[in-house]
Amino acid sequence: MFDKHRSRASEPVAPAASNRIGPEDERIALRCARRELQLVDSFVVSGEFRSRSDLVRAALRDFLRRRVVPTADPPLTTDGPIELTVRLRRDEVAQLVAYAKLVGNERPIADLLAELVRRGELEAKVRELVDRHRLSVREAEDVRSTVTALERAGQRLEDRGVVGR
């Protein structure tokens, strides 16, 4: 029985050697709102993508890369910009959105973050935290050496019989 709500394009298609366009051998169907399809078609008409399928494949690859790649270290061998995933709290994102609107001429947050890092506004805080951590490590070393010296002095006094336990 034919279902009037289901078109032939949404039915699974078995891969056939003569029908293969590329290395893909499986198909999926995608339902979209009319407005979304118009936007997809506008990218195809502009020449940015050869077809709807190319756009959807590119979007799927980008989605999967963003979900899977953040666990790996970025490759440092490329000459161009390296994309990093940054996890921020909601309040931090809200502040960046406000910064983008008020100071950054409503540019994308990723571009603003890159600029902030390059200009060193974030570096000052990082440097402050690193300096504070180094100071606390030095202070801890000083305290340990003082405690060790006091223990030795106490042991020498015990050895001489000046103080007893």
Predicted confidence at residue 85, as pLDDT, reads 73
pTM of the model: 0.33
Contact 53, 40 (CB under 8 A): no
Question: Which pLDDT score is estimated for 20?
Answer: 47
Mean pLDDT of successive 10-residue segments in the chain (165 residues)? 43 45 74 91 90 90 72 63 76 79 78 77 63 85 93 89 74
Q: What domain range includes position 66?
A: 9-76
Domain assignment present for 30? yes
Whether 37 is in a domain gets the answer: yes
- Measured from the Cβ of residue 84, the count of other Cβ atoms closer than 10 Å reads 13
pLDDT for the residue numbered 26: 82
Tell me whether residue 113 is in a domain.
no
CA distances from 144 to 135, 136, 138, 139 (A): 14, 12, 10, 9
- Position 61 in a domain: yes
Count the domains in the chain.
Answer: 1
Q: Is residue 135 part of a domain?
A: no
Predicted confidence at residue 127, as pLDDT, reads 65
